[in-house]
Amino acid sequence: MSLPHSRVQHWRRLSSVLLLLVLLMVSLSAPALAEESRLPEAPIYVDGQPIKTKYIMRDGHLMVPALFLKATGTRVDWNSQYRSVVFRLGKTLFALPVGKKYTDDYVPETGKWKRDTLSTASMETKDGIFVPLLDVVKKLGMEVTYNPQLKRTYIRTGTTRLPALIYSGNTKEKLVALTFDDGPDGHYTPQILDILKEKGVPATFFVMGRQVEYFPEMMKRIVNEGHALGNHTMTHPDLRGVMTSNVIGEVRATQQVIEKTVGRRPDLFRPPYGALTRSDRLILHEMGFRVVMWSVDTLDWRGMSAEDILSIVHRDISPGGIILQHNLLTTPGLLDGTVEALPQIIDQLHAKGYKFVTVQTLLDHSR
């Protein structure tokens, strides 16, 4: 049975209109989604230091990622049960439920929670949870100001002096420490250990807990041949983007794996990518760690040649220097320059009067 010609024409016209509406909706929504994933960025100055962050302007209020507050020294966590971001600084503790225009503030004197209002609700985006900066900062007891001429936002935390980051040993003696990150592995680590053994030189290995689990015998060899250890987290995350409880979990899990494997718990820590926040520094200090960075970055992770690595070392070395290299196979051949350069680094710095020591020994000689 066929429909009358007029009815067929009617359905065709209706179908065409519906198709145009669908295409229009797609064309309008696609740019909106693209814009959401390309949020603007700007520096916010925390105690004079510019911290670059994404932001959203909502009803005249500056919204920033909740994790940005780690830059102020605040602990930031997520409560999945109540879908809330939890902020803690000293005795101040409060939670911001996502999508709600209020906070739940803990009152230590009563042991109960008290509800307070927000100027605008927190919001969830593809880039994380965003919170109203002014409200949160004021609750933390900090000062926030805006300079309209410079178009800059300033936060004054009023927090105490931060634990120092160690970039080199404070010594006039010609001491130098070789350090290797990200291992152990079964490819580059044994080659490096062979060279160090042949040259009679100690080094410090900042190990990942995951790699220690994969290569426990290589880890034992590092220790048995007289080298020192440092904690480099379990899975190598950028700590700036990690909730506080997970930062603690990464570090503790690595300590447990190291102790289980070789019976030691190092007190040295190096953050992945050399990146960490004020909050992370305070937590690591509370956990008893000394945070070790470097003064000579060989950039070997870029696949540098032995010649380029040697050039960097000779350019940047000084008494008390800490040399950064890596010992994890990620891309075939990427760290071949590291292995090729190592015996030359040792021989050439020896010729300049340098003595190779572990980071611990270097710090013991520092004044």
The answer to whether residues 179 and 130 belong to one domain is no
* Same domain? 218 vs 357: yes
Amino acid 211: pLDDT = 99
- Cα 70 from Cα 49, distance rounded (Å): 14
Please tell me whether residues 141 and 215 are part of one structural domain.
no
Q: How many other C-beta atoms are found inside a 10 Å radius of the C-beta of residue 127?
A: 14
Within a domain: residue 4? Answer: no
297 and 188, same structural domain?
Answer: yes
Q: Are residues 124 and 219 in the same domain?
A: no
Q: Specify the CATH number for the domain of residue 103.
A: 3.30.457.10
Domain count, the chain: 2
pLDDT digits (tens, 9 = 90+) for 11-26: 444 443 333 333 233 3
Phi, psi of 261 (to 5 degrees): -85, -45
Residue 241 lies in a domain: yes
Task: Judge whether 148 lies within some domain.
Answer: yes
Q: In terms of pTM, does the model score above 0.85?
A: yes
Residue 285: give its domain's CATH number. Answer: 3.20.20.370
Burial of 181 (0-12, 13-18, 19+ CB in 10 A): buried
Which regions in the chain score pLDDT beneath 50? 1-37
Residue that terminates a domain, selected from 156, 191, 215: 156
Written as six digits, the tokens of 316 are 């940047």
- Looking at 156, 185, 218, the residue that finishes a domain is 156
pLDDT in the model for residue 159: 80
Residue-number span of the structural domain to which 273 is assigned: 175-364
Catalytically annotated residues: 181, 326
Q: In what order do the strands lie in the sheet with 123-125?
A: 56-58, 61-65, 128-132, 123-125
- What's the CA gap between 217 and 185, in Å, rounded? 10
Token pair listed for 198: 């042949």
**Residue 5 belongs to a domain:** no
